[in-house]
Amino acid sequence: MLDRLKTPAEAAEILHISRSTITRCKNMGAPVRYIGTCGRKYLIDTEVFAEWMNAQGMKEEPEKARQISMLELRARRHSLCG
């Protein structure tokens, strides 16, 4: 189990993302394992982290794919034209 845990820099390299993205995801609730008593250092299981990132992407997908109805298009056109 401990051999699967990586430092944030190692995890960023494995996942092909930036170290900043790792930090942003951690702040958004990504699963990490804190080490030490101060809570600043942490390790990442890259498989679990990647699954969490994919789940976050799936949450946003339906919103992106939403089709605009004809009534919404009409209302937008009228609001732009006056």
pLDDT of residue 45: 95
On whether the CB atoms of residues 46 and 14 are closer than 8 A, the answer is yes
- Rounded to two decimals, the pTM is 0.66
Q: Which residues on adjacent β-strands are paired with residue 45? A: 5
pLDDT at residue 65 in the model: 53
Residues of the domain holding 43? 2-81
Report in angstroms the alpha-carbon separations of 36 from 1, 22, 30, 46, 73: 18, 19, 19, 20, 55
Does the pLDDT at position 23 exceed 90? yes
Residue 8's H or E segment, with its range, is: helix 8-15
Please state the domain count of the chain. Answer: 1
Asked whether residue 25 carries a pLDDT value surpassing 70, the answer given is: yes
Check which CATH number belongs to the domain holding 36 and give it.
Answer: 1.10.10
